[in-house]
Amino acid sequence: MAKEGIPSIYDYTLDELKEKLKPSFRAKQVYNWLYKKYANSYDEMKNIPNELKEDLKANYPIDVMTIIKKEQSIDGSIKYLFKLRDNLTVEAVLLLMKDKKKDEDGNIIRSEKYTVCISSQVGCKVGCSFCLTAKGGFVRNLTVGEYIAQIVNIKRDNDIAENKALNIVYMGMGEPLDNFTNFIKAVSIFSELDGLAISRRRQTVSTSGIASKIEKLGQIDLGIQLAISLHAVDDELRSELIPMNKAYNIASIIDAVKKFPIDTRKKVMFEYLVIKGKNDSVDAAKKLIKLLNGIQAKVNLIYFNPYPGTTYQRPEEQDMLRFKDYLNERGLICTIRESKGIDISAACGQLKEKDANGDS
């Protein structure tokens, strides 16, 4: 494995690589091998001179992370456990959103649709009381290359064609806006047309509500989608669920969201984790409508996913439906997110760092 601290080839935009590799056209060749053919070593790059390959091996390693375990859910989701160069681990999830569809003659009339949920940190600083990721505390931010390598490894492992569009959600381990600089650059590299070519409109960042960083993100105007982990309609409950709410309360988050530039074809997603007896009442639904008034919003209700040791409970289906219907009937678009990967602990709030052997 490469030494910790050595830059990775995945850390660089195409323009940056052109500055480092001479002649500069070599950068585009390397990019093609990395992101179109998912090369796993420089030895695979047949049109790259041996001298350059040796330089690349020494200074820009490809082995950012390795897959040490993967689990497949009955719904088709696959959870990956990656070991990083410093032997820490991080998880990501490939979500099969729609199956391949064929006609009666066996011709493909619709290909699979994928979303990849990637991580931003080893552990997390936020400390949400309902989230298993937070139990191990915060260890470190992921590098730019570690962001990118999650997608490359998953595409390679599943033989996903280079021109096959997929969506990225920054909803895995950690708070993306706590890793602001690396996250911003990762968005740019993912969207490189000569690279993975994942449109910024297909990238969604989910934040627990760092209001100052939401404003900063809005000023940069990357063109990505925004999702807010709201989960409560009053500061008392939200502070219990998300301690950071004491620093960035609901009012400050709503104010920041109102300033955020929104693609007219899209809406700001408000993720609302429903916990039995905590936030599943009609009264809470009423307050949510008032809170989001004036925002181009969509509410995504999420079932709380229990894990060993938690005191919170999964809500009843009838309460989820009642909450959803109340919002929809009053003009606030609301859906219930199907929890994927529950059987392999890959659903929201269930990702967790493992030790070097893959154990929790």
Higher-confidence position of 353 and 156 = 156
Q: To 5 degrees, how large is the angle CA 122–CA 7–CA 47?
A: 125
- 298: enclosing H helix or E strand: strand 297-303
The Cα 320–Cα 335 span in angstroms is 10
- Mean of the pLDDT values across residues 172-176? 94
- Mean of the pLDDT values across residues 296-323? 92
Q: Which residues are annotated binding-site positions?
A: 124, 128, 131, 174-175, 206, 229-231, 305
Catalytic residue from among 146, 271, 334, 348: 348
- Mean of the pLDDT values across residues 31-48? 97
Q: How many CB atoms lie within 10 A of CB 319?
A: 15
Residue 346 near residue 340 (C-beta atoms within 8 A)? yes
Q: Which residues are annotated binding-site positions for S-adenosyl-L-methionine?
A: 174-175, 206, 229-231, 305
- Mean of the pLDDT values across residues 258-273? 88
55 pLDDT tier (thresholds 50, 70, 90): very high
pLDDT at 5: 58
What is the four-CA torsion angle of 272, 277, 281, 283, rounded to 10 degrees? -100
Which residue stretches of the chain are H helix?
14-20, 25-35, 50-59, 144-157, 180-190, 211-220, 235-241, 250-258, 282-291, 317-329
Q: Tell me the CA distances in angstroms from 81 to 4, 91, 114, 173, 322, one per residue in order.
A: 19, 5, 18, 12, 37
Residues with Cβ within 8 Å of residue 360, at least 6 apart in sequence:
352, 354
For residue 146, indicate whether it is catalytic: no
pLDDT at 339: 57
Residue 59 near residue 6 (C-beta atoms within 8 A)? yes
Catalytic residue from among 91, 146, 271, 353: 91
Spatial CA neighbour of 122 closest among 135, 134, 138: 138
Whether residue 347 is predicted with pLDDT greater than 50 in this model: the reply is: no
Q: Which residues are annotated binding-site positions for [4Fe-4S] cluster?
A: 124, 128, 131
| Longest CA pairwise span in the chain (Å) | 68
pLDDT at 260: 94
pLDDT at 189: 98
Q: Tell me the CA distances in angstroms from 246 to 109, 135, 217, 235, one per residue in order.
A: 50, 19, 21, 8
The first and second tokens of residue 324, run together, are: 């959803």
The first and second tokens of residue 33, run together, are: 């091998």
Query: Which domains occur in the chain, in start order?
Result: 9-59 (1.10.150.530), 65-344 (3.20.20.70)
The Cα 131–Cα 349 span in angstroms is 4
For residue 162, indicate whether it is catalytic: no
pLDDT at 109: 64
- Mean of the pLDDT values across residues 153-160? 96
Residue 267 near residue 296 (C-beta atoms within 8 A)? yes
The first and second tokens of residue 310, run together, are: 């938690």
pLDDT at 360: 46
pLDDT at 349: 45
The Cα 19–Cα 27 span in angstroms is 9
- pTM for the model: 0.89
Give the model confidence (pLDDT) of 5-29 as tens digits: 568 999 999 999 999 999 999 999 9
Residue 19 half-sphere exposure toward CB, CA atoms < 13 A: 4
Please tell me what DSSP assigns to residue 218. H
Whether residue 86 is predicted with pLDDT greater than 90 in this model: the reply is: yes
